Amino acid sequence: MIDYFQWLLYGLTAILVAATLLPFSKVRFGAIRGLAFPRVQLFWLAVGLIVACLAVSQADWLVLLLVLVALVQLAHIVKFTPIWSRQSVDADAHQKADTRCHVSLLAANVKKSNRDYAALVNLACTYKPDIVMAIEVDEDWIAALEARMKDDYPHWISVPKETGYGMCVMSRLPLSDSQVREIVTDGVPSVRTTVTLGTGAQLRLYVVHPEPPVVDHDTKGRDSEIAHIGMEAARDPLPAIVTGDLNDVAWSTTTRSFQRLSGLLDPRVGRGFFNTFNAFHWWARWPLDHLFHDPQFRLISMARLEKIGSDHFPMLFKLALAEDPAQNSETGEVDGEEKADIKGMIEQERKRERDPIGTDWED
């Protein structure tokens, strides 16, 4: 029995080592990129195996290998705990008091097949955000939201789709220069719009929902869209907010590259994971629904809200636009080689003719 248990430990350790090392490769494929998602789960699995090895007096080399695996996983996720320094700067008392410079955003992937329209409407009524963004909406979702929310939210950008890639932006604040674009892959839209605050100051809002990673397909479509938005936000003359279901975790290679490209800050760093997917499984949850913001914003609050019948939890963010960028917020620098590789990937992906991933998942 001990021999079988030993071989089980060896096998699980080998799997853990492979799952830890493969995401460091530059291979943009779902089966590899997806291994970056469960870093928290892999960390605790490594800790459990360390305890098991010590309990049966396994070889020191095996324990050491598992300790290294746990440390590598921890190095990626520790930034999203309160022991790490915060990337987004908190609003001061004056900025909290001046509500004219505030913008609050409720972001929700509603799941197209979910028909609990009232759950999202009730959240909007309870928290009264300035902007509500609903992802995966179809014509029925748009009709239900218009019937209940049009009076409170007069400014709309509606992109209903039957494929799971629909989106809708509803705003109390004025929207202008609004664009719906399919940046990389046909059938995968994103929204770019200008929001005018109570002070008259303006910000740029990008709402995105790139393709999900799947084990049998590359992730170039998702990675290209995320990177393109990052580079565009970096060039934008207005302070930018990028939000939506990015189908990527906060600590991944793709998201860290996005931050280097854009210079935008992640308010979860130093505050918590705020896992939003999967709302149905407590043991397998990751931060997939994001908001990144220009250093000129200060964070007032952020919260994961209650379930709305979707496989995603909604997120609520409240920011204040300051007069000057924060001075102590760093995202890292992107080098010329990385940017050139990304631009080449984007151009290649734009030329590829294919259907978006997962358009028939809820048929």
* pLDDT tens-place string over residues 166-197: 999 999 999 999 999 999 999 999 999 999 99
CA–CA separation, 235 vs 164, rounded Å?
Answer: 30
Q: Do 227 and 186 meet the contact criterion of CB atoms below 8 Å apart?
A: no
Label residues 176-207 b or e (16+ Cβ within 10 Å = b).
Answer: eebeeeebbbeebbbbbbbbebeeebbbbbbb
For the chain, which residues make up each domain, given as ranges? 2-80, 93-321
Q: What is the CATH number of domain 93-321?
A: 3.60.10.10
For the segment 282-331, what is each residue's pLDDT rounded down to a tens digit? 999 999 999 999 999 999 999 999 999 999 999 999 999 999 898 767 78
Q: How far is CA 3 from the centre of its chain?
A: 44
pLDDT at 203: 98
What DSSP state is assigned to residue 21? H
Q: What is the mean pLDDT of the chain?
A: 94
Cis omega (within 30 of 0) on the bond before 278?
yes
Judge contact between 278 and 285, C-beta under 8 A.
yes
